[in-house]
Amino acid sequence: MAVNVESYPARVPWTRGRFASWITTTDHKRIGILYIATSLFFFVAGGILALLMRAQLATPNESFITKDSYNELFTMHGTTMVFLVVVPILAGFGNYLVPLMIGARDVAFPRLNALSYWLFLLGGVVLYGSWFAAGGAPKAGWTSYVPLSEQTPGNGQDLWILSLHILSIASLIGAINFLVTIWRMRTAGMTRMRMPLFVWSIEAYSALLVLVLPALSAGLTLLLLDRQVGTHFFIPDEGGSALLWQHVFWFFGHPEVYVMILPAMGIISEVIPVFARKPVFGYTAIALATAGIAVISLFVWAHHMFATGIPIGLQAFFMISTMFVAIPTGVKIFNWLATTWRGNLILDTPMLYALGFIAVFTLGGLSGIFLAVFPFDWQVTDTYYVVAHLHYVLFGGSIFGIFAGLYYWWPKMFGRVLDEKIGKWQFWLTFIGFNITFFPQHMLGLMGMPRRIYTYDHGGLWEAYNLASSIGSGIMGLGILLFFVNVIVTRRRGERASNDPWLADTLEWYATSPPPPENFAAPVPYVTSPRPLRDIRRRLKEMRHL
């Protein structure tokens, strides 16, 4: 019986339109771009919330935004940046790149993949819809500690719960999809130890999400029941526990931190070798460190709870497990440094962001060691020291990595190279603005400024550091703005990209820029090393010499 394998099922006419084709797409590349575009939209929204907070804190006793409005701002800023920006934009990169990098035609479950994206968008809409809810947006912080989050009147908090429920399902579906794709769909010859390091990181990202999201969902359900049905899971007077929520939340929440940083590290591990014109130093060590960080991250959650008075023995355990994370992280930093040694360092924008990542992430990692030492943590937890630390790892880490990735893969995604001149301006504004914003916050925390306060009464250095921080945030905002200027400029008159503009190592550059719906027009060659594209270039060169 003859089966025509060449033709795909015909598309229903109404799905062919420019707009409708995006709504109905199951192509991992288009879904990846939808993820990235939506996350960038929320990045701008969350960034504006942050700028409003910095404006309020610029000088003492300001009354620009106070009390409940301020509480809504930091709650929405944190929730947005974690759940609607960093996690989904990394899912976007994973979607776009994993099938291409492993030489597959698509992800394992393309329709589930589409469902995952649309649920993510729905979750975002529900969260932002809460501004219009009775009582306004949620205002108990992105951590929503009980009993406060149980007593908050209005429905903002309920919509927060609903939104996170939806986003958890979206992430869970996406994570399972990634795992099956990575485990089952690698091209011939791509053994585990030949997978690109970015694919290793998406595997760790997905495994962690599958392991910890159910804990978040369970916690959210208990919180919702307490609020709406009158159960007493978290109410001590009725036999519940006010601490239980923190355990459940951080059992999810700390691995979530590594969910947000591991793929960014994966991006750095791809960018640095290509722009240093060397193989990555210690591929095996970096791959194993990625897996190692993921495993250890499941055993560190209570370092967020040192000041809650949990038994000293437990505090000691969580201090040591937390310090263990520093070992594989340090291995990565040193391996990246060694990769640049004796290289031919091409300082294009992706590389600037990657090197900037090393420069600032190191500081974030070191302040993490301080925070692991629990007696010192008693001093600085819940202060601006923690705000500084978390932004050094989440902005200086994840967001710098994401920008490195955007500049690096933009030519593959859209066939044009982002403008280098604007890119460099963007990098320097962001880098300098970032450090001016967040470095002084270490000192503010040590001097005694708690998080989540809408104003302060101190002059002198408190005022100076806060003002510096606010000015820095403005500089950083300009830098981010330049990225969008760059996107528009590049779209109009950007330089056309070849299939492999950076002379890279991995298979996505074997496809055209942008790739056709089926990804690879020609069969993918048998993979014999972690750098298949370099192997191909070398073989071509040898053939030309013959």
Partner 1 sequence: MPPVRARILVLAGLLVLAALALSGVAFAEDGGFAPAGPDSPNGERIETVYWFVMGFAVLIFLIVEVALVLFIVRYRNRGRARDVEGPQIRGHLNLELAWTGVPVLILIAIAIFTFYQLPGIKDVPSAGAAGSQLRVDVEGRQYYWQFTYPNGVIAIDTLRLPVQRPARLEVSSPGEDVIHSWWIPALGGKIDAIPGHPNHTWYEPEKAGTYIGQCAEFCGIQHTVMTAKVEAVPADEFARWLSAEAQAQEAGTSNLGKQEFDGVCAKCHGLDGKGGIGTNIASSAIIQDRESLETIVRQGRNLMPPVGADWSDRQMDALFSYLQKRFGSGG
Query: Other CB atoms closer than 10 Å to residue 134's CB: what's the count?
Result: 10
Taking the least distance from each CB to partner 1, the nearer of 215 and 504 is 504
Using DSSP's 3-state secondary structure scheme, residue 450 falls into strand
3-state secondary structure 287-300: HHHHHHHHHHHHHC
Find the angle CA(136)-CA(142)-CA(144) to the nearest 5 degrees: 80
Q: Which of residues 105-164 bind partner 1 (CB under 8 A)?
A: 139-141, 145-148, 151, 153
- 459 lines the binding site for partner 1 (CB under 8 A): no
Please state the closest distance from residue 269 (CB atom) to partner 1, in A. 13
Please state the closest distance from residue 25 (CB atom) to partner 1, in A. 34
**Site of tokens 């027009």:** 521
Taking the least distance from each CB to partner 1, the nearer of 120 and 502 is 502
Q: Which stretch binds partner 1 (CB under 8 A): 421-429, 448-456, 489-497, 518-526?
A: 448-456
The DSSP symbol for 135 reads: T
Find the angle CA(339)-CA(342)-CA(343) to the nearest 5 degrees: 65
Using CB under 8 A, pick the residue from 68, 420, 463, 535 that binds partner 1: 68
Interface characters, 188-227, with partner 1 (x: CB under 8 A): ----------------------------------------
Bridge partners, residue 496, by sequence: 416
Is 74 within 8 Å of 452 (Cβ atoms)? yes
Is 139 within 8 Å of 173 (Cβ atoms)? no
Q: Which of residues 248-277 bind partner 1 (CB under 8 A)?
A: 276-277
Using CB under 8 A, pick the residue from 125, 218, 359, 521 that binds partner 1: 359
Distance of alpha carbon 490 from alpha carbon 168, whole angstroms:
35
**Site of tokens 């701002």:** 73
Please state the closest distance from residue 24 (CB atom) to partner 1, in A. 40
- 471 lines the binding site for partner 1 (CB under 8 A): no
Bridge partners, residue 416, by sequence: 496
Taking the least distance from each CB to partner 1, the nearer of 119 and 267 is 267
Distance of alpha carbon 223 from alpha carbon 509, whole angstroms:
47
Please state the closest distance from residue 184 (CB atom) to partner 1, in A. 28
Using CB under 8 A, pick the residue from 2, 19, 237, 311 that binds partner 1: 237
Whether the link from the prior residue into 255 is cis, omega within 30° of 0, is no
Taking the least distance from each CB to partner 1, the nearer of 215 and 444 is 444
Q: Which of residues 313-352 bind partner 1 (CB under 8 A)?
A: 316, 319-320, 323-324, 326-327, 330-331, 333-335, 337-338, 340-347
Distance of alpha carbon 386 from alpha carbon 444, whole angstroms:
10
Please state the closest distance from residue 342 (CB atom) to partner 1, in A. 5
Taking the least distance from each CB to partner 1, the nearer of 221 and 379 is 379
Please state the closest distance from residue 459 (CB atom) to partner 1, in A. 11
Quick one: which of 298, 323, 320, 302 has its CA closest to 311?
Answer: 302
Q: Which of residues 276-315 bind partner 1 (CB under 8 A)?
A: 276-279, 281-285, 307-309, 312
Please state the closest distance from residue 341 (CB atom) to partner 1, in A. 6
Please state the closest distance from residue 66 (CB atom) to partner 1, in A. 8
Quick one: which of 492, 443, 481, 480 has its CA closest to 465?
Answer: 443
Distance of alpha carbon 349 from alpha carbon 425, whole angstroms:
9
Taking the least distance from each CB to partner 1, the nearer of 362 and 499 is 362
Distance of alpha carbon 454 from alpha carbon 54, whole angstroms:
10
Distance of alpha carbon 371 from alpha carbon 381, whole angstroms:
8
Element (H, E) at 274: helix 244-276
Q: By CB under 8 A, how many residues form the interface with partner 1? A: 91
Token pair for 230: 């009158």
- 67 lines the binding site for partner 1 (CB under 8 A): yes
Please state the closest distance from residue 114 (CB atom) to partner 1, in A. 38
- 379 lines the binding site for partner 1 (CB under 8 A): yes
Is 74 within 8 Å of 53 (Cβ atoms)? yes
Token pair for 172: 């869970």
Using CB under 8 A, pick the residue from 209, 444, 475, 476 that binds partner 1: 444
Using CB under 8 A, pick the residue from 84, 159, 170, 355 that binds partner 1: 355
Distance of alpha carbon 331 from alpha carbon 337, whole angstroms:
10
- 512 lines the binding site for partner 1 (CB under 8 A): no
Q: Which of residues 414-443 bind partner 1 (CB under 8 A)?
A: 442-443
Q: Which of residues 5-64 bind partner 1 (CB under 8 A)?
A: none
Q: Which stretch binds partner 1 (CB under 8 A): 80-88, 456-464, 491-499, 511-519?
A: 456-464
Please state the closest distance from residue 310 (CB atom) to partner 1, in A. 10
Please state the closest distance from residue 135 (CB atom) to partner 1, in A. 10
Bridge partners, residue 417, by sequence: 495
Bridge partners, residue 383, by sequence: 450
Distance of alpha carbon 302 from alpha carbon 315, whole angstroms:
8
Taking the least distance from each CB to partner 1, the nearer of 37 and 369 is 369
Please state the closest distance from residue 534 (CB atom) to partner 1, in A. 9
Taking the least distance from each CB to partner 1, the nearer of 43 and 409 is 409
Quick one: which of 326, 215, 195 has its CA closest to 266?
Answer: 195
